[in-house]
Amino acid sequence: MEFRHLLFGIALATGACTAGAPPLDSSVQGPVGSACTTSSAKLSFDFEAASFARCVIEGEREFSVLVAPEHRPPINPSPWYAFRYEARAGGELTVHLRYLASQHRYVPKWTDGTERRQLIVETSEDGTTATMQLPPGRATVSAQEIFDSGDYEEALERWAQGPLARRFVLGSSHDRRPIGAVRLGFADAPRLVLLLGRQHPPEVTGAIAMESFVDQIAALLAADPQMGKRYQFLVIPLLNPDGVARGNWRANLGGKDINRDWGEFSQPETQAIKGWLDALPAGVRPALMLDFHSTHRNLFYVQGDEASERQEQFLGAWLQGKENSLPGYIFSIERRNANPGSGTAKNWFHQAYGIPAYTYEVADDADRMAIRQAAAVFARGLPGALEVLER
């Protein structure tokens, strides 16, 4: 059975659905403004990062949200959801998350714009339904805290204030959203460190780590301009702006996992970076690539057998031995042999430039302050470790 029909069938079976067939193909524009309204409450999906979800009215104060991916399975089980609600006084709202093609993964994050907290859910035995109670009022509920284009705009603007910083646009997405970048350091600094983020839309904890990491790099450069003569950093924090805006689980608007497109370069987002790299001055060479993501645990995917001795020394100088030393942030180092043609940034940068290229994975539920502090420690340790690559 086609997934579209599966989802539609469930929607019909569950009762009054306010919308028609769900948008599972990429021809549908934007988060669709579907909503469920009763006389005492309303659920809406009309903002950036809202999910593709559809809602079902189960009762005056009871709704189901159908959590469905942007394309039919197989897809990574990162079931993003985000909705806002308004409810009159008179009791809590009950909302069931009903997962299609996945199981409950993300603890709901609730905010009324002032206060933030995590919600307790009751999950069904098979994990396909999670039920929460919501206080009356107005608030947003999302799989992870929302970190959207407005947040990136603020971060890019802040980084661009640095003495050696320049902000620019590398290209644009399928939906003509800019792929924004900041270069920190001098344009002719010979060693280039690439920092990539948000290839995968739900991976907000990776975005939190990246923001703190780049803040720290910017501070180091401000304190030591000599560093900016030797090293420049290309920061591209939002590689998949369409996916983030639409609440995708994985893909860009081309229906492609961008982190499987390095080498093929079939998508505008990866093409934009490839074009910039190809135009680098002859004296500038990539030295390191870090790609920020999220998964179930804190870890770094690093090169396996293919790592050179010098790259091993870099790893030793930067990360090894620190796995249990950071408060609230235990991590592991996972060696993964290059899988030719895998299309990941990690493997492509290693193969194309012979440099350390790591995937920086942050646990979904890692303590947010610990994420930031650990990222700052990693950033402060980076210049010294980079020296090892120069030997």
| Residue position matching structure tokens 């396909």 | 128
CB of 351 vs Zn ion, minimal distance in Å: 19
Of residues 57 and 196, the one with the C-beta less far from Zn ion:
196
In the complex with Zn ion, the residue whose CB is nearer, 177 or 200, is 200
Closest to 147 (Cα-Cα) out of 181, 106, 198: 198
Provide, rounded to whole angstroms, the least separation between the CB of residue 104 and Zn ion.
Answer: 19
Residue (256 or 293) nearer to Zn ion, CB:
293
Token pair for residue 51? 């999910």
Measure the CA–CA gap between 205 and 211, rounded to whole angstroms.
10
Q: How far is the CB of 95 from Zn ion (least distance, A)?
A: 27
Q: Which is nearer to Zn ion, 132 or 179 (CB)?
A: 179
**Nearby residues of 223 by Cβ (< 8 Å), 6 or more positions away:** none
Which is closer to Zn ion, CB of 227 or CB of 258? 258
Report the residue closest to Zn ion, judged by CB.
Answer: 293
Q: CB of 76: closest distance to Zn ion in angstroms? A: 8
Pairing of strands 285-295, 357-363: parallel
d(CA 66, CA 247): 13
CB of 363 to Zn ion, least distance (A): 12
Element of type H or E holding 213: helix 204-223
Supply the minimum distance, in Å, between the C-beta of residue 378 and Zn ion: 18
Element (H, E) at 169: strand 165-172
Which parts of this chain interact with Zn ion (CB under 5 A)? 200, 203, 293
Token duo for residue 257: 């996992």
Q: Which is nearer to Zn ion, 293 or 350 (CB)?
A: 293
